[in-house]
Structure 1
Amino acid sequence: MSKPLKQIHLAAHFPGVNNTTVWSDPAAGSHIEFSSFAHFARTAERARFDFLFLAEGLRLREQGGEIYDLDVVGRPDTFTVLAALAAVTERIGLTGTINSTFNEPYEVARQFASLDHLSGGRAAWNVVTSWDAFTGENFRRGGFLAQDDRYSRAEQFLRTSWELFDSWQDHEIVADTESGRFLRDPRAGEFHHRDQHFDIAGRFNVPRSPQGRPVVFQAGDSEEGREFAAATADAIFSRHSTLDAGRAFYTDVKDRLARHHRTRDELLILPAATFVLGDTDAEARDRAHDVRRAQVSGQTAIKYLEQLWNRDLSGYDPDGPLPDIDPDPGEHTVALGRASVRMFRDPLATAKEWRQKAEAGGLSIRELVIETTGRQTFVGSPSTVATTINDFVQADASDGFILVPHVTPGGLDEFADTVVPLLQERGVFRHDYEGSTLRDHLGLDRPAARNSTRNNDSTKKAAS
């Protein structure tokens, strides 16, 4: 007996800052005007996607001591954008990336609880960490945290936020129609939390929201990141987009859930995915070739190579050979901000591998960067792309995909109009939303309020 078909989850990543954006396309629009966000969100909702995803950047990138001018100049605040989108959409989930290293639990919990109320239960939080002092200079605490410490803080940050979300019971606000007042439990919102990272106590001033807590996403791929996700997250924003790598990652993370007393359907795995469509597969391949060359200009190729070489390579010809000098493996990095985390664990070994690849293929710097920075995940006619997406999900390489188009804001339109109907015809994607909250879309249960102050003995003891 064959197993039932899995339902595919689809989401859309607003392509504000990433190496997929094609700025030169005549259809490219603003990455900061609200009309772009609204168009993108409405397209995703029209296609019945689960959610919209916003990345976050806490400081403008720099390279060689100057602002990275191939990036968008300016990043609007995530909560402000999502709150505005809540007013112009009805069902699409609203996911924001918020940092756990430089923020505080009370502040973030209050913002997410408010967004969940304003949107009718559509809020989600992509929990990320940051280690570099360059970003930390923007904040009062500044500095940086070692990897073990930042994941420890992230986990305690998240669990502290849960205590705040759960400090109200669902029944604690009851309207008294005769007096026109609200009756509530006098202990509503009360919390006490103390650990090595946080020592806070008081009352949380936002009642329990429609989802109880926002859906939690996690994007780390390290050993610590995978374990953190298995213990706490509802979904993982994964970078594994090939079938074999996706299946290996899927199996690894799902197998971790049991030791955290969770079932395999309590955590969704959603890789990022790019796409290029055409009337035929051949046309799509030709378009994909053109898109890749537009994504990696000569200037972009040199900037990217500098991140591996850790040197100023502005004097090199992007259409010429790789530098004959070795990378500088020192701790100082020429790139700061979004690219300030070392992208290459062993720069010398990577450079050697790249040289061999370039010599074997007769590749210039630009051609090599195009070859090594990945290609579109899905390329083909709408039928081919629909088939491939379904094959990945049914083979347990993912539970769906977070799509990143290369044009803002209209890059999702063609996928919504051509690929989504084919998935619906196959019976693997919804024709309409069946619930009103993001947890409904993702098939996740609404968590019960654990109300830490009243029910969690360990928290009481720690705070006493």
Structure 2
Amino acid sequence: MSDQPRQVILGAHFPGVNNTTVWSDPASGSHIDFESFRKFAQSAERGFFDFLFLAEGLRLREQKGRIHDLDVVGRPDTFPVLAGLAAVTEHLGLAGTINATFNEPYEVARQFASLDHLSGGRAAWNVVTSSDAFTGENFRRGGYLEHDQRYVRAEEFVKAAKTLWDTWPDAAGEPEPFEYQSTQFDIRGRFNVPTPPQGHPVIFQAGDSPQGRDFAAANADAIFTRHSEPEVGRKFYADVKSRVEKFGRDPESLKVLPGISFIIGDTDSEAEEIAAEVRAQQVSGQTALLLLEQIWNRDLSSYDPEGPLPDIEPDTEGPSIFAGRARQVTDPHAEVAKLRKLSEEKGLNLRETVIDTQSRQSFIGSPQTVADAIIDAVQTRVSDGFILVPHITPAGLEPFVQKVVPLLQERGVLRTEYPEGATLRDLLGVPR
């Protein structure tokens, strides 16, 4: 067994629409201006991160027929942003989320092959699925796909894309004809972009269901997960890696990368104070009401966010008041009872209760505390690294880059320079 510590993989997530970003902070910039993306990407590259990660939204969420409180900034298309970033970075991987339900293999394979060539082998595709008819209304076949078929299509989609990427191995030669038939696709022809520098762009996946985990184990190079807490993270890590083995792959060929938020202070106590302030800023009164409406499935606009929780019971019979992605609550009555108990025990009002139950920052503390936590998590196989989600965009990575990265480098778990000519696959240590 090697005495060398396991290397920490670092990704930087440009958050898009969410309730993580503190929109009211003067340092929070545009989420559609290219300058914001450039500053964010170059900050990550100064910190020797492996890649930048972009989410994707094909439709803005609606609540009671109106655009959700946190979806008002728009969602620029992934490929133009990543292509632009390829020109202003040299080493940073460029990962984009593209839906396998509402796109076609030839188009997506062509776009990612082009990005991989333009960036010198730095492209990555986060494969996501959707059975959401609301989102599907934007497309010709909107809502047609049954929920249990979404990963069937995704797996066939990825296989089709790989088939296309493999048909033109020599840029000086000619592409071989391709033909791919499956339950979802019947395509043939010749691909018009030579095989990407990486062979195949790196494949990410973010599903958490058993079906999603199997899809990642069979097809992906990295999995983006929410499981960052030590005990739960280790169970997820062990489960996914065991699935990889069942598909005949080396467990190290799939990297497990939880998304995390962080707060850094000069001391642990200062960081805790900042974290409390950030959580309060992340949940406005309006946001608190909208999030609770997703549990109650009722219009709660008449309630005071600074007052008690609603005294009515959730509506489990009527149609959903929310359209688009939302938290899935399997037992609204049990969830409401839990919130009421928490509110009573801690003496919290409505908004404070929502703040207390929202996802908290994963790593809070001094630079040394945060560095120690990250190193311990990777060495003890909670994960292979982390995808950082700052609460300020585009400048939110800077505290981590300036204060935590040097400590990781001193401990020998993060590079001090990029290898010459390395592709993203080389940086992540996943096979071609």
Smaller-chain TM-score range?
Answer: over 0.9
For 1:412, what is the secondary structure of its paired residue?
helix
Aligned residues of 2:214 and 2:243 also touching (Cα < 8 A) = yes
For 1:112, what is the secondary structure of its paired residue?
helix
> What is the Cα deviation at residue 16 of structure 1?
1.6
Aligned residues of 1:164 and 1:189 also touching (Cα < 8 A) = no
For 2:124, what is the secondary structure of its paired residue?
strand
Q: Distance in 2 between matches of 1:189 and 1:358?
A: 65
2:223 corresponds to: 236
For 1:284, what is the secondary structure of its paired residue?
helix
1:332 aligns with 2:313: no
> What is the Cα deviation at residue 3 of structure 1?
4.8
Q: Distance in 1 between matches of 2:72 and 2:5?
A: 41
1:406 corresponds to: 391
1:378 aligns with 2:376: no
Q: Give 1:164-179 correspondences, 5 Å limit.
A: 164-169=164-169, 172-174=170-172
Q: Give the alignment partner of residue 298 of structure 2, picking from 287, 296, 311.
A: 311
Code of the aligned partner of 1:287: I
Aligned residues of 1:57 and 1:338 also touching (Cα < 8 A) = no
> What is the Cα deviation at residue 374 of structure 1?
1.7
1:39 corresponds to: 39
Q: Give 1:61-460 correspondences, 5 Å limit.
A: 61-169=61-169, 172-174=170-172, 184-185=173-174, 188-330=175-317, 332-339=319-326, 343-434=328-419, 435-446=421-432
2:30 corresponds to: 30
Aligned residues of 1:189 and 1:207 also touching (Cα < 8 A) = no
Stretch moving more, 75-84 or 343-352: 343-352
> What is the Cα deviation at residue 2 of structure 1?
7.7
> What is the Cα deviation at residue 317 of structure 1?
1.0
Aligned residues of 2:18 and 2:70 also touching (Cα < 8 A) = no
Deviations 1:173-199 (A, max 9, x none): 33xxxxxxxxx24xx241101111001
Aligned residues of 1:124 and 1:214 also touching (Cα < 8 A) = yes
Instruction: Give the gaps of 5 or more residues in structure 2.
Output: none
> What is the Cα deviation at residue 5 of structure 1?
1.2
> What is the Cα deviation at residue 373 of structure 1?
1.2
Q: Distance in 1 between matches of 2:399 and 2:353?
A: 30
Aligned residues of 2:17 and 2:73 also touching (Cα < 8 A) = no
Q: Over aligned residue pairs, what C-alpha RMSD do you find?
A: 1.3
Deviations 1:116-152 (A, max 9, x none): 0000000000000011111101001112422220111
Q: Distance in 1 between matches of 2:239 and 2:316?
A: 31
> What is the Cα deviation at residue 206 of structure 1?
0.5
Aligned residues of 2:113 and 2:201 also touching (Cα < 8 A) = yes
> What is the Cα deviation at residue 308 of structure 1?
1.0
Code of the aligned partner of 2:113: A
1:452 corresponds to: none
Instruction: Give the gaps of 5 or more residues in structure 1.
Output: 175-183, 447-464
Q: Give percent identity, aligned residues only.
A: 64
For 1:159, what is the secondary structure of its paired residue?
helix
Aligned residues of 2:171 and 2:195 also touching (Cα < 8 A) = no
Q: Distance in 2 between matches of 1:164 and 1:328?
A: 49
> What is the Cα deviation at residue 436 of structure 1?
2.2
Q: Distance in 1 between matches of 2:55 and 2:143?
A: 22
Code of the aligned partner of 1:48: F
Aligned residues of 2:69 and 2:287 also touching (Cα < 8 A) = no
Q: Distance in 1 between matches of 2:277 and 2:6?
A: 34
Stretch moving more, 74-83 or 327-336: 327-336
Q: Distance in 2 between matches of 1:257 and 1:19?
A: 33
For 1:135, what is the secondary structure of its paired residue?
helix
The 1:153–1:50 alpha-carbon spacing in structure 2 relative to 1, beyond 3 Å, is same
Deviations 1:193-247 (A, max 9, x none): 1111001110110001110111000001011111110111100000011111111
Q: Could you tell me the TM-score, scaled by structure 1's length?
A: 0.91
Q: Distance in 2 between matches of 1:72 and 1:88?
A: 28
Q: Distance in 2 between matches of 1:242 and 1:144?
A: 37
Q: Distance in 1 between matches of 2:431 and 2:404?
A: 29
Q: Distance in 1 between matches of 2:129 and 2:259?
A: 19
> What is the Cα deviation at residue 297 of structure 1?
1.1
Q: Distance in 2 between matches of 1:48 and 1:72?
A: 32
> What is the Cα deviation at residue 166 of structure 1?
0.9
Deviations 1:152-173 (A, max 9, x none): 111111111111111122xx33
**Deviation beyond 4 Å, 4+ runs, structure 1:** none
Q: Distance in 2 between matches of 1:252 and 1:190?
A: 39
Aligned residues of 1:11 and 1:52 also touching (Cα < 8 A) = yes
Code of the aligned partner of 1:147: H
Higher Rg of the two aligned structures: 1
Aligned residues of 1:31 and 1:72 also touching (Cα < 8 A) = no
For 1:193, what is the secondary structure of its paired residue?
strand
For 1:217, what is the secondary structure of its paired residue?
strand
1:5 corresponds to: 5
Deviations 1:280-336 (A, max 9, x none): 111111100100000011111111101111111111111222112221224722121
Q: Could you tell me the TM-score, scaled by structure 2's length?
A: 0.97
For 2:152, what is the secondary structure of its paired residue?
helix
For 1:173, what is the secondary structure of its paired residue?
coil
Aligned residues of 2:98 and 2:128 also touching (Cα < 8 A) = yes
Q: Distance in 1 between matches of 2:249 and 2:238?
A: 15
